[in-house]
Structure formats: C-alpha cells, structure tokens
C-alpha cells in the first residue's frame, strides 16, 4: 500500500511542475514582444494544459482533489528570470528561453521517475502518451534555446 501512495504522489509532482510551466510560459508571453515567441509559448501552454487534464484523475485519486499548486523549483526559476530581466534587458529573451528549457528538462525528469515505478496500466499508458508530447515540447524548446543564443 505504501508503494501505491508513492506512485500517486509522484503524479501530483508532475502536475505541479506542469502547472508551474504554464504560469512561467504565460509570464514570458507578457515580457517578450516578439509574436513568434508568443505563438510558440501558446503551443507549449496548450500541450501542458492537455497533459495536466489527462493526469488530474490520477492526482485526484491520490489526494481527493484536483492539484492546482505549482512546483517550488519552477517558481524559483521564474523568480530568477524576473531578477535577471531587471538587471539587464539584453539577455531577457535568452534568459526566459533558457529557463523555460530547464523547466522542460524537469518535466521529462519527473515523467521518467514516474515511469520507473510500477504504475497501474491506465496510469502508465497516460504517462507514456504525455511523455511523447512533452519530449516534443522539450525538443522544440531546445532548438529555440540554440537559436536564441546566436
């Protein structure tokens, strides 16, 4: 039984990271003027919102309610980015893109941790489906990060 709780608990951790990512992307949209980034960030927000919706039933099963909190790690990255953008405007775009790419890394890490555990079949299928989409988001963000560096 303890093992079952740990699995469900980790689903809420994934949801928290994704919720934090959604908030961070929404903030980045307001801070960066380039419409290309806004459309890109909207796609990332949409993918994460869909993934959260798919994972919420497993979070509810664990804690009895919808998970609405965000990850402290993502909040820290967001605060760092705000600070850096106040210090220098030259690196604002790269700072946002760089930190958002790190959030994408964290999403994949959390999904991998959940998939290493013995999940119920429906949970594992959902996690694998979500991971495919989040890997695509990660790869797109990684490419944007490389472009933003130059």
Q: Is the pLDDT of residue 2 over 70?
A: no
Q: What are the sequence ranges of the domains in the chain?
A: 9-149
DSSP per residue over 94-126, as a string?
Answer: HHHHHHHHHHHHHHHHHHHHHHTS---HHHHHH
Give the per-residue pLDDT at 68.
Answer: 85
pLDDT in tens, 60-69: 887 788 888 8
Q: Classify domain 9-149 by CATH number.
A: 1.20.1260.10
Q: How many CB atoms lie within 10 A of CB 150?
A: 5
- pLDDT band at residue 6 using 50, 70 and 90 as cut-offs: very low
CA geometry: angle at 50 spanning 103 and 21, to 5°? Answer: 20
Residues 20-55 as b or e (16 or more Cβ within 10 Å = b): bbbbbbebbbeebeeeebeebbeebbebbeebbeeb
**Nearest C-alpha neighbor of 58 from the set 103, 117, 139, 132:** 117
In percent, the amount of the chain with pLDDT more than 90 equals 53
- What pLDDT does 91 receive? 58
Round the average pLDDT of the chain to a whole number and report it: 85
65-104 pLDDT tens trace: 888 888 777 777 777 777 777 676 555 888 889 999 999 9
Q: What is the pTM of this model?
A: 0.86
Q: What tokens appear for 132 in the block?
A: 């495919």
d(CA 61, CA 75): 26
The structure tokens 């820290």 sit at 76
Q: Which of 35, 138, 144 is nearest to 94 (CA)?
A: 144
Residue 110: per-residue pLDDT? 95
């Amino acid at each position: 039984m303890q093992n079952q709780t740990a699995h469900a608990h980790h689903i809420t951790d994934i949801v928290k990271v994704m919720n934090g990512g959604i908030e961070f992307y929404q903030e980045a949209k307001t801070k960066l003027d380039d419409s290309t980034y806004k459309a890109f960030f909207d796609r990332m927000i949409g993918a994460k919102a869909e993934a959260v919706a798919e994972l919420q039933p497993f979070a509810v099963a664990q804690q009895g309610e919808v998970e609405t909190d965000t990850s402290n790690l993502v909040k820290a990255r967001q605060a760092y980015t705000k600070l850096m953008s106040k210090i220098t405007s030259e690196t604002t775009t790269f700072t946002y893109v760089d930190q958002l790419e790190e959030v994408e890394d964290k999403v994949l890490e959390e999904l991998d941790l959940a998939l290493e555990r013995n999940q119920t079949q429906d949970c594992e299928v959902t996690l694998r489906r979500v991971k495919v989409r989040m890997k695509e988001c990660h790869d797109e963000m990684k490419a944007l990060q490389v472009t933003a560096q130059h």
